[in-house]
Structure 1
Amino acid sequence: MATLNSSSLIMNSSVSFSHKRGIVKYSLNFPNRVANISLPGLRTGGFVKELDFQKSPDQKQLSPITIRTKPDPLVMAKLYAILEAVADRIEMHKNIGDQRTNWNSLLLTSINALTLTAATMTGIAAITHGAPAEALKLSSTSMYLAVTGMLTIMNKIQPSQLAEEQRNAARLFKQLRNQIQTLLSIGNPTSFDVKEMMEKVLALDKAYPLPLLGGVMIEKFPKKVEPAMWWPEHRRKQVKGQKGNFNGWNRKLEEELRGIVNVMRVKDKEDYLKMGEKAMKLNKILAVSAPVLTGVAAVGSALVGSCEGAVVVGVLGGALASVVNALEHGGQVGMVFEMYRSNAGFFEMMEETIGENLREEELERRENGEVFEMKVGLQLGRSLSQLRDLAAATSVKGEDIDEFASKLF
């Protein structure tokens, strides 16, 4: 209910009629002195963004002014165009990811079948004489050479790693699609948002390319393992808060986020980079070993009958090559490496995002502090209380803390 806390409040009203036009004019005249009017029970409708009362200089009459903001149709059209492109990218990466998963399984099965067949034919040729032995030797040598070429190509492109790249790209494009849909639903998008979304799409295209060309494809055996980067260079944010307030930020929250960043950098990201380094080295050893073994087996198969011990080399080389190939591609070591690289990239992105907000001196240009803290907690799989406990532990133990920042992976 409305309460009027004023010792003296006088209202004069006047009504005038116009018979010609049927118009009723009604006005309320307030005195100059009106104090402490409280209307706690009055709620504005959802369509009113701002309600302001202005006084006319003569009668001090209150007149409401309603301001409605409408999104720019051109901006909306551009965002819908980006949304359509993102949806197409999702389907494209999903289909190509399925295709490259099939490549891995079919090539693994075919190469191992050819390798074991060639090894069997080499063994049979050793106990056969005459023309059949020569035919078996020629066939097994041809198979080994074919397998060596196929393995060289397969180990170069790493189908399991390619499939993991496309799965990551599809997931990240879905995430971007949800961001655009949320912006269209509850936000008032501007040209800045259009530019930001365009940069995110292009950054994802660059991070997860589709072609298998050497200059475009992601390096499968880099000299140094670095986190995957799929986000654009961070730019100065729009003013989203209100001037004159703290926009949900305080010194305690800033110290908490600095502690979280320290844990992510020292524990999570560093751990995934170390495991990625080990996975990459193992994959490189296996990728080199399998073609070498099949090449040696091809030489041994060709020399069966004319060189003592050649049959052992031909059969044993083929058997070992099958084991190595099954371990590399059946175990999807390339996929494991890409997963570690991607996880390290996730922590790199969070570190940059938090650092960008903390470096911004104007609080109204930061993302709202309470919302941002909740997002960090959700991304790390922690409640707000767990997030604060972790930050408190870092302030006491420093870099010696045993706990990882993320509870998700």
Structure 2
Amino acid sequence: MATLQTSGIMCSSSCSSSTSTSSQDRRGVIIRATLNVPRRMTNISLPGLQTKGIVEELELHNCTDKKLSPINVNTFRRNNSNGPDPLVMAKLYAILEAVADRVEMHNNIGEQRSNWNSLLLTSINALTLAAATMTGIAATSVVSGGAPVAALQLSSTVMYLSATGMLSIMNKIQPSQLAEEQRNATRLFKQLHNQIQTIIAIGNPTTSDVKEMMEKVLALDKAYPLPLLGAMLEKFPTNIEPAVWWPEQRRRQAKGLDRKKSWNGWNGKLEEEMTEIFGVIRKKDKADYLRLGGKALKLNKFLAISGPVLTGLAALGSAFVGSPNHGSWAVVLGVVAGALASVVNTFEHGGQVGMVFEMYRSNAGFFKLVEESIESNLTENDMERRENGELFEMKVALQLGRSLSQLRDLAASSSGKGEEDIEEFASKLF
């Protein structure tokens, strides 16, 4: 056993001793140790003597020059320099939560204002028809020499005046148009929510992405306000303009996807195609929806004025029912004007003419957005700052409800034609 200890010390004393010599000595030691074990201790295992000396291996590595070591410790260190900025990610998630809350708010308020339209329509028509019925009963009682009709006259007049006031407020705020605004806002905020999720999923968002999303949220808040007093959109504008819910188009950062080619997916043929699509959208689609919106607005103005005027005349007629100096015209005015008022009110708010106008205005805004996106890419001289050409072409085709081949055919068929000669609209969706 003394020989074993001496041999182990000599093996670890110097780093310059050869590996083959230490291995031979060690094998010799193992043999001698095994021979010296008595027979009565054959069940004892010696695992430490069957493996390489741990101390010897550690000292051997420590004596080796670090430059010759095949292991680079620095390669195991985590490099987070290419990862997303935690502050930028936190800001994007904060915007994402705000957008999700906006979606819920606009959805709830849209349902509330849709209920306003149906409840107010039912209530006003009920008041108008009840007042017309009372006026007729009062006139019948006067002709037949019945009991005094002062109570019926007063009741019908009060109901007509109430219907006139409620109808004037309803025509001012246009609940069906308000509900359509909230539906559009809900859809657009959901779209923005998906865009933020896409930016986070792709990875490495920047501060410019945060700024862009903030601008989009504020632009949507301005385009579709929640409160009524002081912030409600003009329901009867003098000039019809497309709805605008996006911020001003600014110069993009270089985000080209096709790094192998300096054109970033663009070529002369694609630019000509987008130029033709731009012209078709402006001359046909956007112009057509603005024209239809103008007609819906004129109709809505006429109906909004006619309803309160008719109920006001009916109130005046009901007040003079039974008067010997005014004959039967008061009865006719009180009954017929009330019936006509209920018809006009039903057509305006039951047919949701205000909602139709807002739908046309929103569709014109959609085409204006596509038009501006095409124009901003074509006017950008730096190809790397443009959106990738192939991706942009596919987006435009999907927005217009066309395949890529149909989009190219539309551009070819409209090339060199005037506004009157273009027969096909750009969009196949609506």
Question: Number of residue pairs matched?
Answer: 354
- 2:263 corresponds to which of 226, 246, 254: 246
1:222 paired with 2:243, answer: no
SS at match of 1:397: coil
Output aligned runs, 1:176-255, within 5 Å.
176-213=192-229, 215-241=230-256, 242=259, 245-255=262-272
Q: Secondary structure at the match of 1:209?
A: coil
Shift of 1:397: 3.0
Matched residue, 1:21:
61
SS of the counterpart of 1:21?
helix
In the alignment, the residues of structure 2 paired with residue 248 and residue 18 of structure 1 have an alpha-carbon distance, to the nearest angstrom, of 58
| Aligned residue among 392, 396, 400 for 1:372 | 392
Letter in 1 for 2:241: E
Deviations 1:262-281 (A, max 9, x none): 00000000000000000000
Post-superposition shift, 1:25?
Answer: 3.9
Check whether the contact 1:100–1:162 (CA below 8 A) recurs between aligned residues: yes
- Among 108, 114, 117, the residue aligned to 1:95: 108
Matched, 1:292 2:278: no
What is the letter of the counterpart of residue 169 of structure 1?
A
Q: Kindly provide the CA deviation profile for residues 340-369 of structure 1, in whole angstroms up to 9, marking residues without a partner as x.
A: 000000000111111001110000011111
Deviations 1:139-186 (A, max 9, x none): 000000000000000000000000000000000000000000000011
**If each structure's strand is expressed as a fraction of its own residues, which one has the higher value?**
1
Contact 1:228 1:344 in 2 (8 A): yes
Q: Is the counterpart of residue 271 in structure 1 residue 288 in structure 2? A: yes
Deviates more, 1:236-245 or 1:280-289: 236-245
Q: Matched residue of 2:253: which SS?
A: coil
Shift of 1:128: 1.3
Structure 2 distance, partners of 1:351, 1:127, is 64
In 2, Cα distance between equivalents of 1:99 and 1:337 = 20
Unpaired runs of 5+ residues, structure 1, are: 1-16, 28-65
Q: TM-score, normalised by structure 2?
A: 0.80
Give % identity: 73
For 1:127, the equivalent position in structure 2 comes to 140
Q: CA deviation at 1:192?
A: 0.2
2:396 pairs with 1:381? no
Match of 1:149 in 2: 165
Rounded to whole Å, the distance in 2 between the matches of 1:398 and 1:225 is: 24
Give how far 1:187 is off.
3.0
Q: Distance in 2 between matches of 1:388 and 1:20?
A: 73
* Residue equivalent to 1:403: 424
Whole-angstrom distance in 2 between the partners of 1:67 and 1:328: 62
| Gapped regions of structure 2 (runs ≥ 5) | 1-56, 72-78
- Which sits farther off after the overlay, 128-137 or 111-120? 128-137
Q: Does 1:311 align with 2:331?
A: yes
Q: Using the TM superposition, give the Cα deviation of residue 188 of structure 1 relative to its aligned residue in structure 2, in angstroms.
A: 1.5
Question: Could you say which structure has the higher helix fraction?
Answer: 2
Q: For 1:81, give the aligned amino acid.
A: A
Paired residue for 1:50? none
What whole-Å deviation, never above 9, does each CA across 1:298-318 have from its counterpart, x for those lacking one?
Answer: 000000011212100000000
CA 1:271 to 1:253, structure 2 compared with 1: closer, same or farther past 3 Å?
Answer: same
Please point out which of 281, 297, 301 is paired with 1:280: 297
Give RMSD over aligned pairs. Answer: 1.8
Deviation at 1:127, TM superposition (A): 1.4
Matched, 1:301 2:318: yes
Q: How far off its partner does 1:101 sit? A: 0.3
Alignment partner, residue 348 of structure 1: 368
- The CA deviation at 1:407 is 0.4
CA distances 1:19-56 after superposition (whole Å, capped 9, x unpaired): 622777459xxxxxxxxxxxxxxxxxxxxxxxxxxxxx
1:329 pairs, out of 339, 343, 349, with 349
**Residues in 2 aligned to 1:244 and 1:385: alpha-carbon distance in whole angstroms:** 24
Tell me the secondary structure at the aligned position of residue 113 of structure 1.
Answer: helix
Task: Tell me whether 296-305 or 244-253 shows the greater mean CA deviation.
Answer: 244-253
Q: Distance in 1 between matches of 2:80 and 2:170?
A: 63
SS of structure 1 residue aligned to 2:119? helix
Partners of 1:141 and 1:211 in 2: CA distance: 34
Give me the whole-angstrom Cα distance separating, in 1, the residues matched to 2:80 and 2:308.
72
What letter corresponds to residue 422 of structure 2 in structure 1? I
- Confirm or deny that 1:80 pairs with 2:93: yes
Residue identity opposite 2:187 in structure 1? R
- Whichever residue aligns with residue 412 of structure 2, its letter is A
Contact 1:243 1:364 in 2 (8 A): no
Aligned partners of 1:236, 1:73: CA distance in 2, in Å? 26
Take 1:310 and 1:404, find their aligned partners in 2: how far apart are those partners?
Answer: 54
Select between 300-309 and 328-337 the one with higher mean Cα deviation.
Answer: 300-309
State how far apart, in whole Å, the 1-side matches of 2:363 and 2:288 are. Answer: 10
